Structure 1
Amino acid sequence: MNATDSTNSPSSSSSSSSPSLSLPPVTVLGLGRMGSALAATLLAAGHPTTVWNRTPGKADALAARGARAAADPGAAVAASPLVVACVLDHDALRSALAPHTAALDGVTLVNLTSGSPEQAEETAEWAAAHGARYLDGAIMTTPEGVGDAAMMFLYSGDAAAFDEHRATLAALGDPVHLGSAPGLASLYDAALLGLMWSVFAGWLHGTALVGAEKVDAAAYTPVALRWLSGAVSTFVTRYAAQVDAGAYPGDDATVDVQIATVDHLLHAAGRRGVDTALPALLKDVMVRARDAGHGDDSFASVIEVLR
């Protein structure tokens, strides 16, 4: 959920503190809104922090708070054993570092730039060819959430490098290592964003539906959140085991029952002038699951159609 727009000024509500010589130094490459938030958070935690951005003026506010502004990416990389990058894309990162690859030898490069799993694997190979240990990452928050221990930062790649720098990365948010394959963090990022958009869309559709009867979103939302955190989360956990086993006992509510129930949603929305495209899409995938022989199975069997 990275925001790597390089046209915005640094944003952080944390007060800075003097860098402590007892804490490891860190370099941050890229000072868009997200990169600036990363650097500001590391500074506030007491890490000696070196920063670099393609547009030099972007470092001024951080330099005023104690950061060291490097003249070029090579000098920035050479300043710290841990280099955190958050730039436009993978090509921009490799392009910036290409003239300075000698400085990468022995460095741990943590790439928090948004991209695909395949791009992460390509950058990991590139980094390894220049002697760097590589971690790919995904920031599961907006810049305002950087530094909040409740916010997840996903990492994949070199497990030893992650263990070595875990305490430093924890200053940014809860560090979660997903495995040694470099592309896992990007893959989880895409999957989790899909989940987020689906939840947002379902909530907004429900809000529009009850809103047609003059129910405020603020009144509907606590009930929706209780439903999600209670019954829905219980079903998701149960269905995860069914998906892994490839067996979908229809002992709660079968796909056939769900199809009949979604018709109630379609009817209620249509009668109130609320768009029916979203529930119609849900019904379509359920019908495809039924037609594939899963009518008597649980809703988890829909994954066989999605696959």
Structure 2
Amino acid sequence: MTQNLVEKTPVTLLGLGAMGTALARAWLAAGHPLTVWNRTPDRAAALADEGARVADTAAAAVAANSLVVICLLDDASVTETLAGTDLAGRDVVDLTTGTPAEARARARWVSERGARHLDGGIMAVPPMIGVPESGGYVFYSGSHELFERYQETLAVPAGTTYVGEDPGFAALHDVALLSAMYGMFAGAAHAFALIRTEDIDPAAFAPLLADWLVAMAPAVHRTADQLRSGDYTKDVVSRLSMQVAGTPTFLNTAEQQGVSPELLTPYFELMRRRLAEGDGEEDLTGVIDLLTH
């Protein structure tokens, strides 16, 4: 009885923080030959026991394989780590969190050194890596050819979503989604603050809050449709004028509960500005135009 062995793409990984270590273990578990490097060598010891080859220097790690994945603290640390390495002929996938401008500059920097570049934005936390059912994934942008070449390997730790040839698009999608997440967290924080001093169990309140946020989430599709069509009065459920008229209730309730309104007032102010210069019959979509002008 014979066994067909599929040759797995060798991977070099620079950076073994919590996310880098999770990525490393996912590739090792899937049978990919893995070379790792970390500024603090102690972090690589456990991975060596699991089958990883530990390089003494970043240059040696880069030289080991064509596919070089970077997962470091920030863009400056990428520059510092790659200084003195020979990138010629290498395929560099940068999963370091950064801005779109940094990603575009990095793509040019890598190209000038004879390598190809793919940028990634990780939409997951370390415990989600290597767990397909977790829903974690990574945005990728840059060379589509490079993405197609390594997609199977890149999909081992988390799902893959390609968002365009512009190297900055992965970072832009990443930050856009995370910005929405923090906005949601801000709203949840205000909601919990309102009930904090009352005889209301936060654990009993939490499912109500979670279900409400889930119920409201599909509104983003209406917003997208209005932005695409340019008609902000299309399929409006709650008019801007009505929502602005209701804002004093939220502010007065916060005052009565001894809660700062500072998480709400910036958005309410934008709503009032839009109403003053726009159409009260439209949706909240016009606020976006105030942010982009």
TM-score (norm 1): 0.88
Question: 2:80 & 2:207 partners in 1: Cα distance?
Answer: 48
Letter in 1 for 2:147: F
Report the Cα offset of residue 81 of structure 1: 2.2
Counterpart secondary structure, 1:274: coil
Give the Cα–Cα distance (whole angstroms) in 1 for the partners of residues 59 and 264 of structure 2: 53
1:118 aligns with 2:105: no
Give the aligned partner of residue 199 of structure 1: 184
CA distance, structure 2, for counterparts of residue 282 and residue 96 of structure 1:
41
Instruction: Classify the secondary structure of the residue corresponding to 2:138.
Output: strand
Query: Whole-Å Cα distance in 2 between the matches of residues 143 and 60 of structure 1?
Result: 19
What aligned pairs does 1:1-307 form with structure 2 within 5 A after superposition?
A: 22-101=7-86, 104-149=87-132, 150-230=135-215, 232-249=216-233, 251-307=236-292
Equivalent pair of 1:262/1:279 in contact (CA under 8 Å): no
Q: Shift of residue 77 of structure 1?
A: 1.6
CA contact (8 A) 1:128 1:134 kept: yes
Give the distance between the partners of 1:99 and 1:235, measured in 2 at CA: 50
Code of the residue aligned with 1:135 in structure 2: it is L
Contact 1:294 1:301 in 2 (8 A): no
Does the 8 Å contact 1:135/1:155 carry over to 2? yes
Structure 2 unaligned residues grouped into runs of 5+? none
State how far apart, in whole Å, the 1-side matches of 2:224 and 2:202 are. Answer: 31
Q: Is the 8 A contact 1:140 1:153 kept in 2?
A: yes
The gaps in structure 1 that reach 5 residues or longer are 1-19
Greater alpha carbon shift after TM alignment, 29-38 vs 91-100 = 91-100
Answer whether contact 1:269 1:276 (CA < 8 A) is retained: yes
Name the residue aligned to 1:9.
none
CA contact (8 A) 1:152 1:176 kept: yes
Residues 51, 70 of structure 1: 8 Å contact kept: yes
Q: In the TM superposition, what is the alpha-carbon distance from 1:21 to its structure 2 partner?
A: 6.8
Q: Which amino acid aligns with 1:265?
A: F
User: How far apart in 2 are the matches of 1:275 and 1:145?
Assistant: 35
Question: Contact conserved, 1:21 with 1:48, CA < 8 A, in 2?
Answer: no
CA distance in 1, matches of 2:251, 2:31: 55
Aligned length: 285
- TM-align CA RMSD: 1.7
User: CA separation of 1:169/1:305 partners in 2, compared to 1, >3 Å: closer, same or farther?
Assistant: same
- Alpha-carbon spacing, 1:42–1:244, altered in 2? closer, same or farther (3 Å): same
Compute the TM-score of the two structures, normalised by the length of structure 2. Answer: 0.92
